[in-house]
Every structure is written in C-alpha cells, then in structure tokens.
Amino acid sequence: MKTALIIIDTQDSFFHTDYWREDEFAEFRANLTQVVTHFQQQNWPIVKVLHSREDVENSPFNPKSGLVKAMAFLPVHYDKVIYKSVHNAFTDTGLARWLMREGITKLVITGIRTEQCCETTTRVASDLGYQVEYVLDATLTFPMVCDITGQHYSTDDIKARTQLVLNKRFATITNSHDYK
C-alpha cells in the first residue's frame, strides 16, 4: 500500500496570530520532524499543504503577507505542494487527483490545527476511501473557549476529543514513536 505523509498548514502564518503559543511547539516540532525523517528514509512521498486566504486582506494567511510558507524546521523539498482556502486539503486543491495518479491509498496526517484542518482533512480522506493514520502528537492546537457556554478547553481536552471521534471511525490514531 503506497503511503504519503500530509503536513497540513505548518506555516509561518501561525506565528502572527493572536492565539499562537510556544509552550507545546518544541514537542510538536520534534515529533513532526521524527515522522518526516522516517518518510524521507523510506523515500515515501511528502505533501505540504498551505492555507492561503486571498479574500482576507489583513490576515497572516493572505499570500501578500509573505507568511504563507512552510516553517523553517520543515524540509525544503516536497513531492507535492498544495494551497487550500478551506478547512480540508481536498475540496479546492486537486490533491485527490494527484494521489490517484501516484497510486497512493494510505495517508498519514500531521500539522496544525488538530481539531480543524487536520481533523477535517482526515474525515474527508476517509470518506474518499483512503486508509488514514492520524499522528496525534504530530499535530498542534491551541486552547479554546466555547462561544456558547464559555467553557475553556485545553489542548489536552481538544486532542482527547479528536482521538475519541476519529479513532476506528475515520482513522487509526498513532504517535510519532510509531514512525522510527
């Protein structure tokens, strides 16, 4: 089964958001680097997904900001680079066509944000028939507050929920130590 690593939205744009936090970034970077290294050693394809919003003028996700580029710790070469403007990596990108041409049937999902673009891409990939592994500790998110209830959710809360709703439904949950 041909496998590709999908690195979602791990881009400089996030450093310039009002919710960016450094406290979990070093561990995320180390975990993602381990997965990337494994894929490079196996000579398996790596896809970089960048979130780009030309319709939001003063956003760090607008290409005019100069921030829609891979974070410096990531590799400089990818087998495919795609730009998306929605929460999943399929809807507006042509990714499915490329994966089909390459004969790729299994995806390993990593990146930023755990519960948004990474989880949404996982659900769509599963619906499209891909076998999906979701590398939970190679995703990054930030604390959130529910607009309706005012309840605070830590990154651990968010990741626990993602694991609960994805595992054995849309993906197999893995961790970076599975990619050595």
At 93-119, the pLDDT tens digits run 999 999 999 999 999 999 999 999 999
What pLDDT is recorded for position 152?
Answer: 97
- Give percent of the chain with pLDDT exceeding 90: 99
Q: CA dihedral in degrees (95, 171, 21, 49; nearest 10)? A: -10
Q: Classify each residue of 58-77 as buried b or exposed e, where b means 16 or more C-beta atoms within 10 Å of its C-beta.
A: ebbbbeebebbebbeebeee
Contact 158, 24 (CB under 8 A): no
Mean pLDDT of the chain: 97
Per-residue pLDDT tens digits for 27-73: 999 999 999 999 999 999 999 999 999 999 999 999 999 999 999 99
- The Cβ of residue 36 has, within 10 Å, a number of other Cβ atoms equal to 20
* Domains in the chain, CATH or no CATH each: 2-178 (3.40.50.850)
What pLDDT is recorded for position 131?
Answer: 98
